[in-house]
């Protein structure tokens, strides 16, 4: 999911929709930009100056915003390049970005976006519709590997586009299909400068992918976002400088950003990052659950605040293989037996997982959607209580009985045994796996828990299908229905039984229908109803047994201004962030 959260408005969804239809007119102007975007969320008007230093666990892999796949690179390109629209980091709503307004045709298939007037790249070249057209061309050029292309391709058909005039561009989704309900979510791709990159794209897609890599001379780059790349030292740091030509203003009409420098230090070890944060060398730290209470006690001494953040969207779970191409009888029949899975759900001790692994900084899960997703989480579902006696009883009712030797046997007398795998090196998952194993063993299952290297695990999951139970996790976006590759029966990531030609079960067919309707549904309330239906189907059928959703606990130096918690523990935007206290030397 594309997440660009550089600025935002506090307005009701209705108000915003209205505004965007008519084209918001701000009360301020900037030289050459009659209608700059007003970043109104943060209540404070900041001071200019200062350096904001954060850490990243790894180096960026590229500075080319089109081909970015990893978070470390995204952390740089997202502040350097903007899209037509952006996502509010607090509400998750889509709001105007480089485009000041848009309209949609009555059939919901044709979208027209109007760019702000007077936008310029950091070198002074005007940013026009030609750049937008160029960017989408780049996305669809063969050899440019990127994840935006799948977002803009609907059932195999690409979106089409047409330049209307210097400031307006029209997109049309395939007319043979239903209208695309989430079109605004998909159109947030980064706009790249045609005048800098046209030559390389003309040569080849591969050439384009290799342009603006980490070996780039920053002077040859231009951007539209609040900060621009100044230097990158491999293994050490990225230094970014304020963009003097940024197109957003604060609520007094002063041009953003406030900060002069933004530095991302590469600190591969989390403990080292924590020490640097406590030593006031870096200004922000994403603490682990088990550190929350301890850091809370150090707040005064370290001049920082640690926030009780919301749950992440990442779900961790155990999934059983129901794929006839992967497992044989009798295992296939156990794993495909919904009674078996529900019985085992009663053996998932989420409370212990939360206490032992996350020091209680977690929320019990009921389904595929995190409690942190305020738009779609169905709070009415109650988690299956951890109760081994109940689990044993349910198993017995389904024909699985514990014999005198202590082993669980199915109706045919086969001992129930399987291997649970997770990727080695992920300590949380290893801990979950161990807790699950102990409980399964208590039920009489001969469960073995092993770890494997990540590539090998993914190879089994998506290639050979040769696995029994896997513990893994997926990140998610706020629009949960975009996880189509996971939930559609035709999906490659429909782990328990991927790439089906016809849905194997009733409930999977129902989920298919929900996801297809969701994709065409422009109305948020109706999408919410669909997602509620989805969560209830999943709750009753449990292809995966979910583990607790981790809470976030961001810690931030008190000298940083304009801080407010948003989705997944985000604490603000770089455009409006400012330095209150004395500047660092």
Partner 1 sequence: MATQDITGRIGRVAARVERVRARTPMQLAWRQLRRHRVALIGGGILIALFAMALFAEFLAPYSLDFTDREKFFHPPTAPRVVDEQGRWQRPFVYGSELVELGLTRYAIIPTQKYPIRFFTAGEPYRFLWLLPTNVHLIGVDAPGRLFLFGSDQYGRDQLSRILFGGRVSLLVGILAVSITIPIGMVYGGIAGYFGGRVDNIMMRMAEVIIAFPGFYLLLTLSAVLPSNVGCTTRFYMIVLILSFIGWAGFSRLIRGFVLSLKQREYVLAAKAMGLDDLRIILRHLLPNTASLVIVVATLAIPGAILGESGLSFLGLGVREPCASWGNLLSAGTNLVNLSRYPWLLIPGGFIILAVIAYNFLGDGLRDAFDPRLRTG
Partner 2 sequence: MIRYIARRIMNMIPLLVGVSLVSFLVVQLSPGDFLAEIRLNPVVDAATVDRMRENLGLDKPLYIQYVKWLASILRLDFGYSFAYQVPVWWLINSRLLNTLLLSIVSLVIAWLIAIPIGIHAATRQYSWSDNTLSFVSYIGISTPTFFSGLLLLYVAFVTGWFPIGGMTSLEFDDMSTVGKVLDVARHLVIPASVLAFLTVAGLMRQMRANLLEVLRQDYVKTARAKGLAERVVINRHAVRNAINPLITIFGFELGGLLGGAAILESVVGWPGLGQLILDSVLRKDLYVVMGSLMLGTVTLVVGNLVADVLLAASDPRIRYD
- Give dist(CA 288, CA 553) in Å, integer: 7
Stretch touching partner 2 by CB under 8 A, among 89-97, 320-328, 447-455, 502-510: 447-455
Closest distance of CB 584 from partner 2, Å? 8
**How many Cβ atoms from other residues are within 10 Å of residue 407's Cβ?**
16
Among 203, 299, 492, 581, binds partner 2 (CB under 8 A): 492
For partner 2, the closer of residues 85 and 263 by Cβ is: 263
Closest distance of CB 388 from partner 1, Å? 12
**Residues 271-310 interacting with partner 1 (rule: CB under 8 A):** 271, 274-275, 288, 290-294, 296
- Give dist(CA 565, CA 310) in Å, integer: 8
> What is the size of the binding site for partner 2 (CB under 8 A)?
68
Taking CB under 8 A as the rule, does residue 457 contact partner 2? yes
Kindly state the helix (H) or strand (E) to which residue 51 belongs, with its residue range. Answer: strand 51-56
Indicate which of partner 1, partner 2, none lies near residue 352 (CB less than 5 to 8 Å, by partner kind): partner 1
Indicate which of partner 1, partner 2, none lies near residue 293 (CB less than 5 to 8 Å, by partner kind): partner 1
Among 452, 509, 517, 520, binds partner 1 (CB under 8 A): 452
**Residues 274-303 interacting with partner 2 (rule: CB under 8 A):** 275-276, 278-279, 281
Q: Calculate Rg over the CA atoms of the chain.
A: 25
Stretch touching partner 1 by CB under 8 A, among 442-450, 534-542, 554-562, 567-575: 442-450
Among 170, 356, 414, 517, binds partner 1 (CB under 8 A): 356
For partner 1, the closer of residues 290 and 564 by Cβ is: 290
Closest distance of CB 20 from partner 1, Å? 44
Indicate which of partner 2, partner 1, none lies near residue 159 (CB less than 5 to 8 Å, by partner kind): none
For partner 1, the closer of residues 352 and 499 by Cβ is: 352
DSSP for 70-122 reads SHHHHHHHHHH--BSEEE-TTT--EEESSEEEEEE-TTS-EEEEEEPTT-B-T
510 half-sphere exposure, CB direction, 13 A CA radius = 14
Q: Torsion angle, CA of 565/569/572/574, rounded to 10 degrees?
A: 170
**Residues 27-56 interacting with partner 2 (rule: CB under 8 A):** 51, 53
User: Sheet harboring 237-242: ordered strands across?
Assistant: 51-56, 261-266, 237-242, 227-233
Stretch touching partner 1 by CB under 8 A, among 124-132, 141-149, 433-441, 509-517: 433-441
Q: Identify which of 90, 88, 86, 68 has the alpha carbon closest to the alpha carbon of residue 77.
A: 68
> What is the size of the binding site for partner 1 (CB under 8 A)?
40
Taking CB under 8 A as the rule, does residue 134 contact partner 1? no
Indicate which of partner 1, partner 2, none lies near residue 438 (CB less than 5 to 8 Å, by partner kind): partner 1
Among 91, 122, 266, 364, binds partner 2 (CB under 8 A): 266
User: Sheet harboring 160-163: ordered strands across?
Assistant: 99-104, 110-115, 168-172, 160-163
Closest distance of CB 415 from partner 1, Å? 12
- Give dist(CA 388, CA 130) in Å, integer: 63
Taking CB under 8 A as the rule, does residue 433 contact partner 1? yes
Among 5, 222, 263, 471, binds partner 2 (CB under 8 A): 263
Taking CB under 8 A as the rule, does residue 260 contact partner 2? no
Number of H helices, E strands in the chain: 18, 28
User: Is residue 77 a contact partner of residue 70, using CB atoms and an 8 Å limit?
Assistant: no
Return the structure tokens found at 312. Answer: 């992440």
For partner 1, the closer of residues 82 and 291 by Cβ is: 291
Indicate which of partner 2, partner 1, none lies near residue 177 (CB less than 5 to 8 Å, by partner kind): none
* Buried/exposed code over 566-577 (b: 16+ C-beta within 10 A; e: otherwise): bbbbbbbbbbbb
DSSP for 559-576 reads TEES----GGG----TTT
Per-residue binder mask for partner 2 (CB under 8 A), 115-154, x = binder: ---------------------------xx-x-x-xxx---
Among 28, 407, 474, 507, binds partner 2 (CB under 8 A): 474
Taking CB under 8 A as the rule, does residue 335 contact partner 1? no
- Give dist(CA 478, CA 524) in Å, integer: 12
300 half-sphere exposure, CB direction, 13 A CA radius = 1
Stretch touching partner 1 by CB under 8 A, among 29-37, 318-326, 418-426, 542-550: 418-426
Taking CB under 8 A as the rule, does residue 330 contact partner 1? no
Among 136, 222, 264, 472, binds partner 2 (CB under 8 A): 472
Residues 6+ apart with CB under 8 A from 327: 321, 335, 468
Q: Torsion angle, CA of 44/47/50/53, rounded to 10 degrees?
A: 10
- Quickly list H helices, 250-365: 270-278, 292-302, 331-335, 338-345, 350-358
- Give dist(CA 98, CA 31) in Å, integer: 16
User: Is residue 169 a contact partner of residue 163, using CB atoms and an 8 Å limit?
Assistant: yes
- Give dist(CA 35, CA 17) in Å, integer: 18
| Contact set with partner 1 (CB under 8 A) | 270-271, 274-275, 288, 290-294, 296, 349, 352, 355-357, 359-360, 417, 419, 421, 423-425, 430-431, 433-435, 437-438, 448-453, 455-456, 459
Chain residues in the site for partner 2 (CB under 8 A): 1, 51, 53, 58, 61-62, 64, 67, 69-70, 142-143, 145, 147, 149-151, 205-206, 209-210, 213-215, 231, 233-237, 263, 265-269, 271-272, 275-276, 278-279, 281, 453-462, 472, 474-477, 482-486, 491-493, 499, 585
């Amino acid at each position: 999911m594309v997440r660009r959260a550089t600025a935002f408005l506090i307005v009701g969804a209705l108000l915003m929709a209205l505004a965007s239809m008519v084209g918001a007119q701000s009360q301020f102007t900037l030289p050459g930009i009659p209608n700059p975007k007003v970043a109104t969320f943060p209540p404070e008007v900041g001071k200019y100056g200062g350096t904001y230093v954060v850490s990243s666990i790894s180096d960026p892999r590229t500075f080319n915003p089109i081909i970015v796949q990893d978070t470390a690179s995204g952390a740089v390109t997202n502040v350097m390049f903007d899209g037509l629209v952006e996502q509010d980091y607090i509400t998750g709503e889509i709001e105007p970005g480089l485009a000041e307004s848009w309209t949609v045709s009555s059939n919901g298939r044709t979208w027209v976006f109007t760019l702000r007037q007077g936008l310029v790249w950091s070198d002074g070249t005007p940013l026009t519709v030609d750049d937008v057209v160029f960017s989408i061309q780049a996305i669809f050029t063969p050899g440019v590997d990127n994840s935006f292309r799948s977002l803009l391709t609907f059932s195999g058909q690409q979106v089409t586009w047409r330049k209307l005039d210097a400031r307006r561009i029209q997109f049309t989704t395939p007319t043979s299909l239903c209208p695309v309900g989430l079109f605004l979510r998909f159109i947030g791709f980064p706009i790249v400068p045609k005048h800098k990159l046209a030559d390389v794209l003309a040569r080849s897609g591969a050439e384009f992918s290799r342009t603006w890599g980490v070996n780039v001379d920053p002077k040859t780059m231009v951007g539209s976002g609040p900060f621009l790349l100044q230097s990158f030292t491999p293994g050490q740091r990225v230094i970014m400088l304020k963009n003097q030509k940024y197109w957003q203003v604060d609520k007094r009409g002063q041009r953003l950003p406030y900060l002069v420098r933004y530095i991302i230090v590469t600190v591969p070890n989390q403990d080292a990052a924590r020490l640097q944060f406590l030593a006031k060398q870096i200004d922000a730290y994403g603490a682990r659950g088990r550190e929350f209470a301890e850091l809370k006690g150090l707040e005064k001494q370290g001049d920082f605040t640690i926030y009780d953040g919301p749950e992440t969207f990442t779900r961790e779970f155990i999934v059983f293989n129901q794929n006839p191409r992967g497992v044989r009888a009798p295992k296939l029949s156990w794993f495909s037996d919904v009674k078996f899975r529900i019985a085992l759900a009663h053996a998932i001790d989420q409370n212990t997982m939360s206490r032992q692994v996350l020091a209680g900084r977690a929320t019990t899960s009921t389904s595929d959607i995190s409690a942190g997703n305020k738009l779609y989480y169905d709070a009415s579902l109650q988690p299956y209580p951890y109760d081994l006696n109940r689990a044993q009883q349910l198993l017995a009712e389904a024909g699985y009985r514990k014999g005198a030797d202590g082993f669980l046997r199915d109706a045919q007398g086969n001992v129930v045994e399987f291997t649970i795998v997770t990727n080695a090196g992920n300590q949380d998952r290893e801990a979950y796996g161990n807790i699950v194993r102990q409980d399964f063993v208590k039920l009489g299952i001969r469960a073995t828990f092993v770890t494997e290297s990540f590539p090998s695990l993914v190879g089994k999951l998506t290639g050979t299908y040769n696995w029994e139970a896997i513990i893994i996790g997926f990140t998610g976006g706020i629009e949960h229905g975009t996880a189509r590759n996971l939930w559609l029966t035709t999906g490659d990531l429909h782990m328990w039984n991927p790439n089906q030609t016809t849905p194997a079960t009733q409930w999977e067919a129902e989920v298919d229908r929900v996801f297809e309707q969701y994709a065409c549904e422009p109305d948020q309330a109706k999408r919410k109803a669909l997602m509620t239906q989805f969560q209830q189907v999943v709750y009753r059928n449990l292809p995966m047994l979910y583990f607790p959703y981790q809470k976030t606990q961001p810690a931030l130096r008190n000298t940083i201004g304009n801080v407010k918690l948003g989705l997944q523990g985000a604490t603000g935007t770089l455009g409006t962030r400012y330095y209150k206290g004395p500047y660092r030397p």
